[in-house]
Amino acid sequence: MSDLIRNTTWDDLRVGAWAALDRVCTPQDLLLFAHVSGNLNPLVVPSDGEPKDPTVVAPSMWVGSIISSVLGNVLPGPGTLYRMQTLRFSRRVAIGERLMVMVTCVAKGDCPKAVFETLVVDAEGATVCEGLAEVDAPTVPVAMPARELPHFHLDHKDHFARLLAAAKARPAMPTAVVCPDDRNALGGALLARDEGLIEPVLIGDLEAIRRAAAERGTDLAGIRLVAAEDHRDAARRAVAMAAAGEVAAIMKGNLHSDELLAEVVRKDAGLRGTRRLSHVFVMSVPSLDHPLFISDAALNIAPDLVTKVDIVQNAIDLAIACGVERPRVGVLAAVETVNVNMPSTLDAAALSKMAERGQIRGGLVDGPLAMDNAVDLEAARTKGIASLVAGRADVLVVPNLEAGNMLAKELTFVARADAAGLVVGARVPIILTSRADNDRARVASCALAQLHDAWRRSGTSLFAAAPLLAAAE
């Protein structure tokens, strides 16, 4: 930042001098204050699911603390140190309120002592807080660049909470769980059952499944068990049950994805739809104010243009099912311009034009876009990209599996995002969890299956007020 902050020394300070700053109370302010102070009183700390809860008020000491921003930055400015502060609070401050903080010099003592009247008022001019501050004013002139503090990304943005709440409103979904014969696979299925999301049917080696249950101290009473000879047989039985309508979803357990999907895509299995299967990650990223959909990072290794059409449409459908009314789809490449030497940019441009012509429905598609200008408005503006998608993408379509896998894992392990995922394009949703997934990811993936199933069956998102046109499978 180029602006300079200058102070007023004790010698130059005059009684009657005043300064003011305004400040809006945000959920982030209160969460950071809770971290610093250790005050976890629920009346002053926004909850994970409702960061703008109107019943939450700012801690009075947070209101008092913002007075120091005027004393330290403006008057007297850099070099000022507190001696004492009195505070009297007249009313509470709600999240979103704009406050004006004013300080007025009312007395000077022996150098460097100075006394300031302090006042915080709301947008209507009503007093929120008032008092007196006694400080040591600076004695040496200072002119310094305004400092830009490091950015904080708080983990409270739980984009899965809304999805889970909607999914739990539906009856539990009968779900074939294939080879849940280790602690993680079985634990995820049972947790989703306890959350009311699925009604599991456990298929596989029954002795191994019971052994995994014993390790967890879990009782399998009341849960249907189906014996299978091996992984392939378990996958085949799950697919047959789904084709017969006995279950509405399939959940991967302790087997390789290709073992399960090989049975799903068999022509005689009855689960193939009119599109290619693709995988969609749904990421809850702390730095974003909406869930981020990424496809395909797990299934199609090097998709051609025809496959990418299905990948885009599948991702749009899932985003709509999750309450995104008209998903903005950014088709990623290394650059945001078409380059004949980079096939991914040609595919991206073709997908964008196909969406304009109605060959891809339900979303806004634009590409090629680089990662920065797909998700960051300032980056898009800097590069002069005029687009309804650039900087606002809900869905990111990657050029190949390697790029998608790296992107999803970077967001998970570097940006501390939570990830859920679903395979779509078949006649039932397929919950394709990873051994590295935690319990929350497994439960959120089951919620995605519920939401997609509801949309596919009715053509209506559980979040929508009016029916949405569902693409025929």
pLDDT for 148 equals 80
What is the residue extent of each domain of the chain? 4-144, 275-425
DSSP, collapsed to helix, strand or coil, labels residue 275 as coil
User: Could you read off the pLDDT of 191-208 as tens digits, one per residue?
Assistant: 999 999 999 999 999 999
The fold adopted by the segment(s) 4-144 is Thiol Ester Dehydrase; Chain A (3.10.129)
Name which residue leads in pLDDT, 51 or 348: 348
Does residue 436 register a pLDDT over 90? Answer: no
Look up the pTM and report it.
0.76
Looking at the DSSP bridge assignments, the partners of residue 131 are 118
Does residue 473 register a pLDDT over 70? Answer: no
| CATH assignment of 275-425, among 3.40.50.300, 3.40.50.10490, 3.30.70.3280, 3.40.718.10 | 3.40.718.10
Joined tokens for residue 164 = 């889970």
Joined tokens for residue 147 = 């400092």
- One-letter identity of residue 245: G
Does residue 154 register a pLDDT over 90? Answer: no
| Cβ-defined contacts of 218-226 (< 8 Å, 24+) | 218/186, 218/190, 223/193, 224/200, 225/201, 226/201, 226/202
Cβ(397)–Cβ(351) under 8 Å? yes
Give per-residue burial for 416-442: e unless 16+ CB within 10 Å, then b: ebbbbbbbbbbbbbbbbbeeebeebbb
Task: Give 3-state DSSP helix, strand, coil % of the chain, rounded to 5.
Answer: 30, 25, 45
Q: Report the alpha-carbon distance of residue 197 to residue 167 in Å, rounded.
A: 7
Cβ(322)–Cβ(451) under 8 Å? yes
Which of 40-49, 159-168, 210-219, 222-231 is predicted least confidently? Answer: 40-49
Q: Counting runs of H as helices and runs of E as strands, what totals does the chain give?
A: 14, 19
Please name which of 175, 180, 252, 178 lies closest in space to residue 216, comparing C-alpha atoms: 180
* Residue 156's pLDDT band (cuts 50, 70, 90): low
Cβ(320)–Cβ(362) under 8 Å? yes
Q: Report the alpha-carbon distance of residue 262 to residue 259 in Å, rounded.
A: 6
Joined tokens for residue 73 = 């930055």
Residue-wise DSSP of 283-345: EE-TT-SS-EEEE-SSS-SS--HHHHHHHHHHHHHHHHHTT-SS-EEEEE-SSSS--TT-HHH
pLDDT for 453 equals 94
Name which residue leads in pLDDT, 319 or 154: 319
- One-letter identity of residue 372: D
Please state the rounded mean pLDDT for residues 226-254: 95
* Residue 417's pLDDT band (cuts 50, 70, 90): confident
Per cent of the chain over pLDDT 70 is: 95
pLDDT for 288 equals 86
Residue 62, C-beta contacts closer than 8 angstroms, at least 6 positions apart:
25, 29, 30, 33, 44
**Which H or E run contains 103?**
strand 98-108
Q: Report the alpha-carbon distance of residue 130 to residue 104 in Å, rounded.
A: 12
Q: How many residues does the chain have?
A: 473
- Check if 4-144 and 275-425 are the same fold: no
